[in-house]
C-alpha cells in the first residue's frame, strides 16, 4: 500500500485539485482544532499576540529564500533538464537543495543574533517584557524556514511527477505538529512550547515528502556550485517572484505592527479571522492553482495556446462557482462560525464579536484571493514573472495605505465608522479599529485581481472573458437568492433552539448553511451553469440505479 501511495500519479487538473482540496479540508479541520485550543487556552490577549508576532520574521526569511518562487522557477528548468538528461536533472536538484539549505542556515543564524535590534519594528506597541518573549519565540522558529526550504524543493519534484497525494499530506502533518505543541509542549514550556510545535510541524512537512521524492529517483549528491547554468536560470526566474513574496511578508509585518498599537488581542483577532478566510482560498483557489500550473506550463511549452486558454478559463469558472457562495455564507454565518469554533475558555464575547466582524470583511475579498494564484501561475507558465511582481508590489502598497487610512477612520465617530458599526453589529464596542485591517486586505486583493486580468488580456488576448463574466453574473445571482433563504432560516431556527448553547448555535448554522447550499445549487442548475450540471452528473453516476 505504501508503495502504491508513493507511485500514485494524478493525470487531470480536476482530480489533482480534488486531492489537494481534500488535504486542505483535513488540514483546515486540524487548523480549527488548533485555533480552538489556542483561543481556549490563551484567549485573544497578549500571549497569543506574541505567538503570532513571532512568525513574522521567520516567514519573511522563508519568503526571501524559498516561497518566493522556487517551485515556479525550479519546475520548468528541472522539466527541461529531465527530458534531456535525467542524471543531469537530479544533479541540478541536489545543487539547488544544497545551495538554498546553506543560505537558509547562514541567514537564520545571523538573525538569531541580531533579531533583538529590529523586533521593535515588528511590534512597536509591545512593552520590553513582551518584546523579549517575542524575540525568544522568533529565535526558536528560525528552524522552521530551514525545514520548509528542503520541503519545498522536494515538493517541486513531486509536482513534476504528479505525486499530488503525498504532496498534499505535508500541510496536514504541519498542523499535527502545532497541535502537539499546544497539547503536550505548552503545558511544560509555556509559550515556548508553541514555538517547539511549529518547528516539529515544519520537520514533519519535510520528512513526509522525502520517501516519495526518493522513489521518484532523487538521490542527494554533495554538489555545491553557485555558478551552474541551471541554478543561475532558476535564480533569474525567481528574482521577480521573490521580491513579490518578500513584499507580501513585509506587508504582513506592517499589518502586525499596526495591530500591535491598537490594543492587546488585536494581532490575535486579526490572525484568527484570517485563518477562516484562508480556508476557501487554500482549499479551492490554492488547490486549483497548484493543480493547473503543471498542465498550463506543458501546454504553453507545446505551443497549445487554445488549450491553454480553455484550461485557464474553465478553472477560473470552477473557482468562482465554489468561492463566491462560500463567501456569502461566511459573511452571513460569521458569528455562528466564530462562536462554535473559538468561543471557549478565555475567548470572551468581545473577542468573538470583533473576530466575527473581521471575518465578515475578509469574506468580500475571498473570490479575488482565490483567483490570484491561478492567474499568477498563468503568467509563470508564460515565463513572465515580472508582470505579477509589479502588480503585487503595487497592490501591497495600496493595502498598507488603506490599512493606515481605515484604522484612522475607525478611531472616531463618522459616517464611515457608523456604517461598519451598524452593518457588522459592533455597537457598544469602544475600539473597533482592528476591522480596518481585513477591509484593507479585501479591497487591495480585488484591485490586484483586476490588474492581473487586464495585463493578461493585453498579453494573450481574449481568454474567454465573456464566458467567465456570464458565469460570474449567474453565480452572483444564485448566491443572492441563497442569502435570502439563509437569512430566513437563521431567524426561523433561532425561535426553536437555545441560542445560548453550543448545540443551539450549531443547529442554527448547519440548518441555514445546508438549506443555503441546496438553494444555491438549485438556482445554479436552473441557470444552466456548467459546474452545477457536472456535479449533478457525478452524483447520479455514483448513485446506484
Report the interhelical angle of 46-53 vs 266-280 (nearest 10°). Answer: 60
3-state secondary structure of 529: coil
Kindly state whether residue 395 falls inside one of the protein's structural domains: yes
Low-confidence ranges of the chain (pLDDT < 50): 1-2, 5-6, 542-545
Claim to verify: residue 194 and residue 329 sit in the same structural domain? no
Kindly state whether residue 118 falls inside one of the protein's structural domains: yes
Instruction: Tell me what pLDDT residue 203 has.
Output: 93
How many domains are there within the chain? 3
- pLDDT tens, residue by residue, 240-299: 767 777 777 788 888 989 998 998 889 989 988 988 888 888 888 877 887 787 778 778
Kindly state whether residue 168 falls inside one of the protein's structural domains: yes
Task: Tell me how far apart the alpha carbons of residues 527 and 118 are, in angstroms, rounded to a whole number.
Answer: 56
Domain boundary among 237, 259, 281: 259
Kindly state whether residue 18 falls inside one of the protein's structural domains: no
Task: Tell me how far apart the alpha carbons of residues 374 and 427 are, in angstroms, rounded to a whole number.
Answer: 39
Claim to verify: residue 370 and residue 300 sit in the same structural domain? yes
Kindly state whether residue 88 falls inside one of the protein's structural domains: yes
Kindly state whether residue 26 falls inside one of the protein's structural domains: no
Q: Residue 332 sits in which domain range?
A: 265-463
What is the number of other CB atoms lying within 10 angstroms of the CB of residue 461? 10
Looking at every residue in the chain, the average pLDDT score rounds to 85
Claim to verify: residue 313 and residue 447 sit in the same structural domain? yes
Question: Contact, 273 vs 337, CB < 8 A?
Answer: no
Claim to verify: residue 418 and residue 494 sit in the same structural domain? no
Claim to verify: residue 238 and residue 331 sit in the same structural domain? no
Instruction: Tell me what pLDDT residue 43 has.
Output: 81
- pLDDT tens, residue by residue, 158-170: 877 777 777 778 8
Question: Contact, 259 vs 267, CB < 8 A?
Answer: yes
Claim to verify: residue 251 and residue 306 sit in the same structural domain? no
CA angle 497, 501, 504 (to 5 degrees): 35
Kindly state whether residue 38 falls inside one of the protein's structural domains: no
Question: Contact, 275 vs 35, CB < 8 A?
Answer: yes
Claim to verify: residue 362 and residue 215 sit in the same structural domain? no
Domain boundary among 230, 259, 288: 259
Task: Tell me how far apart the alpha carbons of residues 372 and 445 are, in angstroms, rounded to a whole number.
Answer: 8
Claim to verify: residue 482 and residue 426 sit in the same structural domain? no
Kindly state whether residue 162 falls inside one of the protein's structural domains: yes
Contacts of 183 (CB under 8 A, 6+ apart): 37
Q: Taking Cα atoms as reference points, which of 341, 372, 371 lies closest to residue 356?
A: 341
Task: Tell me how far apart the alpha carbons of residues 359 and 269 are, in angstroms, rounded to a whole number.
Answer: 10
Task: Tell me how far apart the alpha carbons of residues 266 and 358 are, in angstroms, rounded to a whole number.
Answer: 11
Residue 544 φ/ψ, nearest 5 degrees:
-65, 140
Residue 223 φ/ψ, nearest 5 degrees:
-110, 145
Domain boundary among 259, 290, 321: 259
Claim to verify: residue 97 and residue 240 sit in the same structural domain? yes
Using alpha carbons, list the distances in angstroms from residue 50 to 54, 126, 289, 299. Answer: 6, 9, 33, 46
pTM greater than 0.95? no
Claim to verify: residue 60 and residue 205 sit in the same structural domain? yes
Claim to verify: residue 442 and residue 485 sit in the same structural domain? no
Claim to verify: residue 459 and residue 485 sit in the same structural domain? no
Q: Taking Cα atoms as reference points, which of 486, 342, 403 lies closest to residue 37?
A: 342
What is the number of other CB atoms lying within 10 angstroms of the CB of residue 514? 12
Task: Tell me how far apart the alpha carbons of residues 258 and 196 are, in angstroms, rounded to a whole number.
Answer: 27
Amino acid at each position: 500500500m505504501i508503495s502504491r501511495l508513493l507511485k500514485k500519479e494524478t493525470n487531470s487538473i480536476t482530480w489533482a485539485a480534488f486531492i489537494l482540496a481534500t488535504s486542505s479540508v483535513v488540514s483546515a479541520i486540524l487548523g480549527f482544532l488548533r485555533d480552538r485550543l489556542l483561543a481556549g487556552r490563551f484567549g485573544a490577549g497578549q500571549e497569543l499576540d506574541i505567538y503570532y508576532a513571532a512568525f513574522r520574521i521567520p516567514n519573511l526569511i522563508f519568503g526571501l529564500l524559498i516561497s518566493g518562487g522556487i517551485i515556479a522557477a525550479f519546475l520548468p528548468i528541472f522539466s527541461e533538464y529531465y527530458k534531456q538528461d535525467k542524471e543531469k536533472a537530479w544533479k541540478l536538484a541536489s545543487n539547488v537543495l544544497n545551495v538554498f539549505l546553506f543560505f537558509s542556515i547562514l541567514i537564520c543564524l545571523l538573525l538569531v543574533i541580531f533579531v533583538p535590534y529590529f523586533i521593535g519594528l515588528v511590534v512597536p506597541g509591545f512593552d520590553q517584557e513582551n518584546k523579549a518573549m517575542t524575540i525568544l519565540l522568533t529565535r526558536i522558529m528560525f528552524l522552521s524556514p530551514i525545514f520548509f526550504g528542503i520541503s519545498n524543493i522536494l515538493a517541486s519534484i513531486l509536482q513534476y511527477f504528479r505525486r499530488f497525494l503525498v504532496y498534499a499530506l505535508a500541510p496536514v502533518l504541519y498542523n499535527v505538529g502545532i497541535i502537539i505543541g499546544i497539547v503536550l509542549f505548552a503545558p511544560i514550556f509555556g509559550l515556548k512550547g508553541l514555538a517547539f510545535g511549529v518547528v516539529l510541524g515544519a520537520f514533519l512537512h519535510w520528512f513526509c515528502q522525502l520517501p516519495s521524492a526518493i522513489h521518484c529517483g532523487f538521490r542527494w549528491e554533495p554538489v555545491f556550485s553557485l555558478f551552474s547554468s541551471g541554478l543561475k536560470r532558476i535564480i533569474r526566474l525567481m528574482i521577480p517572484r521573490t521580491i513579490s513574496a518578500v513584499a507580501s511578508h513585509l506587508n504582513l509585518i506592517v499589518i502586525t505592527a499596526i495591530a500591535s498599537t491598537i490594543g492587546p488581542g488585536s494581532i490575535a483577532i486579526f490572525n484568527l479571522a484570517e485563518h477562516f478566510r484562508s480556508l476557501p482560498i487554500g482549499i479551492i483557489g490554492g488547490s486549483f492553482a497548484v493543480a493547473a500550473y503543471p498542465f498550463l506550463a506543458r501546454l504553453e511549452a507545446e505551443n497549445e495556446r487554445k488549450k491553454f486558454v480553455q484550461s485557464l478559463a474553465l478553472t477560473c469558472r470552477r473557482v468562482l462557482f465554489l468561492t463566491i457562495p462560500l463567501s456569502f455564507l461566511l459573511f452571513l454565518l460569521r458569528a455562528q462560525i466564530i462562536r462554535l469554533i473559538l468561543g471557549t475558555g478565555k475567548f470572551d464575547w468581545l473577542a468573538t464579536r470583533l473576530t466575527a466582524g473581521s471575518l465578515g470583511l475578509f469574506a468580500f475579498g475571498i473570490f479575488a484571493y482565490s483567483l490570484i494564484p491561478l492567474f499568477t501561475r498563468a503568467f509563470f507558465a508564460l515565463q513572465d514573472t515580472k508582470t505579477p511582481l509589479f502588480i503585487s508590489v503595487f497592490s501591497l502598497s495600496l493595502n498598507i495605505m488603506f490599512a493606515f487610512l481605515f484604522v484612522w477612520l475607525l478611531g472616531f465617530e463618522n459616517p464611515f465608522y457608523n456604517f461598519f458599526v451598524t452593518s457588522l453589529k459592533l455597537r457598544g464596542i469602544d475600539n473597533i479599529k482592528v476591522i480596518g485591517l481585513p477591509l484593507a486586505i479585501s479591497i487591495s486583493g480585488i484591485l490586484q485581481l483586476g490588474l492581473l486580468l487586464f495585463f493578461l488580456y493585453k498579453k494573450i488576448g481574449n481568454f474567454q472573458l465573456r464566458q467567465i463574466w456570464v458565469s460570474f453574473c449567474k453565480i452572483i445571482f444564485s448566491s443572492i437568492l441563497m442569502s435570502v433563504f439563509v437569512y430566513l432560516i437563521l431567524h426561523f431556527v433561532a425561535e426553536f433552539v437555545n441560542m445560548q448553547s453550543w448545540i443551539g448555535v450549531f443547529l442554527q448554522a448547519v440548518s441555514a448553511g445546508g438549506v443555503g447550499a441546496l438553494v444555491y445549487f438549485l438556482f445554479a442548475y436552473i441557470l444552466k451553469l456548467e459546474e452545477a450540471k457536472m456535479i449533478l452528473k457525478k452524483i447520479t453516476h455514483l448513485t446506484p440505479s
